[in-house]
């Protein structure tokens, strides 16, 4: 049975250093030990869309197990320490290691579906609220939330590049959420004051039942 610790090596990356470049061949899958990273797409005019956020414990693009290359660049948002798990070792000794990676592929798909729905149908207030609530949950799962507070090392530009807004618009939305008494986001500290109310406002994609009311679109 393959175990990560048998052949894993650790790599370190500085803030803003690339963890992977687009189309780079990959011989190992990276699991974040400390720090945050993101995958992104850069348009010809310089606009950036962040397509994934990787927190401690996350695998950076686990589908590298199948493709063997990076589809998109990945950059460190903070100093990052990552465990490099050789792909050849996973293939040669399938077992728990493969199941963990396949589970990570499914979780990545789930998050990206949620982001697509947010970008396509949610308001600016819903997008930002949903993102911060989701990150707060992920930090709670890592036992990194204390008294409702956790560290979110994202700039307003980073948030804007996730939710498809401008930094100015993100700033206004954060002010609105603060004025509603739902959260405080000062420096890098996020404090969720009313998680249930924030969930309702953000219309958590996977919290709504299948038979939730839907708008009827009139025929043209």
pLDDT score at 1: 30
pLDDT at position 136: 95
Partners of residue 81 on adjacent β-strands: 12, 34
CA–CA distances in Å: residue 138 to residues 28, 150, 155: 24, 10, 18
Q: Which CATH architecture has domain 4-116?
A: Sandwich (2.60)
pLDDT of residue 106: 67
Burial pattern 99-128, b for ≥16 Cβ within 10 A else e, equals: ebbeebbeebeebeebbeebeeebebbbbb
4-116 against 123-202: fold identical: no
pLDDT tens, residue by residue, 147-188: 999 999 999 999 999 999 999 999 999 999 999 999 999 889
Q: Which residues pair with 53 in a beta bridge?
A: 38
Q: Residue 8: its pLDDT value, please?
A: 57
pLDDT score, position 23: 87
pLDDT of res. 56: 95
Q: Which CATH number fits domain 123-202: 3.40.50.300, 2.70.98.60, 1.10.10.10, 1.10.3720.10?
A: 1.10.10.10
Enclosing H/E stretch for 174: helix 167-179
User: Based on the number of CB atoms within 10 Å of its own CB, is 147 exposed (0-12), middle (13-18) or buried (19 or more)?
Assistant: exposed
Predicted TM-score (pTM) of the model is: 0.80
pLDDT-flagged residues of the chain (< 50)? 1-7, 205-220
Q: Report the C-alpha gap between 49 and 162 in whole angstroms.
A: 6
What are the residue ranges spanned by the domains of the chain?
Answer: 4-116, 123-202
């Amino acid at each position: 049975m393959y175990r990560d610790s048998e052949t894993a090596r650790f790599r370190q990356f500085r803030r803003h250093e690339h963890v992977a470049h687009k189309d780079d061949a990959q011989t190992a899958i990276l699991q974040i030990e400390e720090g945050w990273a993101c995958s992104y797409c850069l348009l010809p005019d310089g606009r950036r869309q962040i397509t994934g956020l990787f927190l401690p414990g996350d695998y950076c693009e686990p589908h590298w197990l199948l493709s063997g290359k990076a589809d998109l660049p990945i950059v460190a948002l903070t100093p990052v320490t990552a465990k490099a798990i050789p792909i050849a070792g996973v293939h040669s000794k399938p077992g728990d290691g493969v199941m963990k990676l396949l589970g990570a592929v499914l979780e990545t798909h789930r998050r990206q579906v949620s982001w697509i729905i947010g970008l396509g149908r949610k308001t600016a207030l819903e997008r930002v609220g949903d993102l911060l609530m989701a990150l707060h949950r992920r930090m709670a799962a890592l036992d990194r939330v204390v008294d409702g507070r956790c560290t979110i090392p994202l700039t307003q530009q980073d948030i804007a590049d996730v939710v498809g807004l401008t930094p100015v618009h993100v700033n206004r939305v954060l002010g609105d959420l603060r004025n509603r008494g739902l959260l405080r986001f000062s420096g890098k500290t996020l404090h969720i004051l009313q998680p249930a109310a924030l969930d309702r406002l953000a219309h958590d994609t996977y919290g709504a039942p299948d038979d939730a009311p839907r708008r009827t679109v009139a025929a043209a």
